[in-house]
Amino acid sequence: MNKYTQYKAEVAGTGMHVPKKVLTNFDLEKTLDTSDEWIRTRTGIRERRIAGEGESSSTLAAQAGNQALNSAGVAPEEVDLIIVCTSTPDILFPSTACFVQKEIGAVNAAAYDISAVCSGFVFGLSIAEQYLKSGRYRYVLVIGSETNSRIVDWTDRSTCILFGDGAGAALLKRTESAGSGGLLSSHIYSDGGKSDLIIVPGGIGKTGVSCKSVEAGDYFIKMLGNATFKVAVKRMVEVSQEALEFNGFTHKDVDLVVPHQANRRIMDVVTEKLGIPADRIFINIDKYGNTSAASIPIALHEAWGEGRIAPGNLVLLPVIGAGLTWGAALIRW
């Protein structure tokens, strides 16, 4: 045992930022062979936000990050590390996190991106957890930020209706106080054998950018929706049960599930299989669609803001994403 083992990681503040432009299902009816009724009943989505000119994953992330710092009353100079979870970085490099660091003035922070697609935020939390619980850092800012609208094929009705843009952030703080609160544990997994379920096949290091790839639409999201749905349910249930058992809890102890907002039906089936009643799930997919790595921190920020999470509550965050990646974090608020 070392001198740092007494440390815990707590959520000190949250923030979010979404573009102003709203794209409704009715708007999509005008350009696609789809309907508001189909999209709502199959996914729960009514509208999503779309980044405008001058907006990118870094600009959305910086605003969400600033809000998280303000809500915690922490100055940017105090941040030790910024992790931006994104699969839509502004450019290949430097990292989106470096742009965010400059924008918010976190001059003492190291900054880097991680890529775990929709699972990004929970993967980011698990990294922050290690730095904080080990005592190495005091403040870690974890931001999920995406501009999915730039990598969806707006002629492919099976994918483009699902995704939206936005950013959410959580400032994690090392604390020495006794008690049972904080980020209790995080559990993350990957299965590269299922990489073809959700993929943007356009090569960078593999083939270089080529006109051929662009013409073939290789820089757009391709998804096997049905197969993804089934594996998403299985893995989110499994890993949620693992997180609960690891901490000596059962489904009855959970006050609120804040799941990745991929599809309303996935969230309903997962919580039903876990035995958690519908009034203990937080859902905002109707307003934002699937914002990938931003979905959980946006939902967490809104749930807290709306009073759905109170001090002492047990909050479960299950997630699934391309890779395949999946995970869950359990927080005693």
Where does this chain bind ligand ACO (CB under 6 A)? 34, 38-39, 42-43, 117-118, 157-158, 161, 198, 225-226, 228-229, 232, 262-263, 266, 290, 292, 320-322
Q: Which is nearer to ligand ACO, 62 or 198 (CB)?
A: 198
For this structure, is 260 an active site residue?
A: yes
Question: Is residue 14 within 8 Å of residue 300, measured between CB atoms?
Answer: yes
Helix (H) or strand (E) holding 131: helix 120-133
Q: Minimum distance from CB of 13 to ligand ACO (Å)? A: 26
301 is catalytic: no
**How far is residue 142's CA from residue 122's CA, in Å, rounded to a whole number?**
9
Minimal distance in Å, beta carbon 270 to ligand ACO?
Answer: 11
CB of 38 to ligand ACO, least distance (A): 4
List the beta bridge partners of residue 184.
none
**Residues 63/167, Cβ–Cβ less than 8 Å:** yes
Catalytic residue among 260, 263, 284, 301: 260
- Beta carbon of residue 308, minimum distance to ligand ACO (angstroms, whole number): 23
Contact 171, 111 (CB under 8 A): no
Q: What are phi and psi of 153, to 5 degrees?
A: -85, 110
* Nearest CB to ligand ACO, comparing residues 43 and 95: 43
**Which of residues 144 and 182 has its CB atom nearest to ligand ACO in the complex?**
144
State which residue has the least CB distance to ligand ACO: 225
Residue of 17, 118, 284, 301 marked catalytic: 118
Crossing angle between the packed helical segments 57-72 and 96-104, to the nearest 10 degrees? 50
Q: How far is the CB of 162 from ligand ACO (least distance, A)?
A: 6
Query: Is residue 290 annotated as part of the catalytic site, yes or no?
Result: yes
Which sign, positive or negative, has the C-alpha torsion 133, 102, 15, 23? negative
* Identity at 188, one-letter amino acid code: I
Q: Is 238 exposed, middle or buried (0-12, 13-18, 19+ CB in 10 A)?
A: middle
Q: How far is the CB of 282 from ligand ACO (least distance, A)?
A: 17
43 or 71: whose CB is closer to ligand ACO?
43
Q: In the sheet where 81-85 sits, what is the strand order?
A: 8-17, 165-175, 139-147, 81-85, 110-114
| Cβ closest to ligand ACO, residue 76 vs residue 120 | 120
Q: Which of 9, 296, 4 is nearest to 171 (CA)?
A: 9
Which one, 118 or 276, has the nearer CB to ligand ACO? 118
Among 293, 294, 300, 295, residue whose Cα is nearest residue 315: 300
Pull the structure tokens for residue 204. Answer: 């960078």
Quote the DSSP letter at residue 18.
-
Three-state DSSP at 327 gives: strand
Q: Supply the residues annotated as catalytic.
A: 118, 260, 290
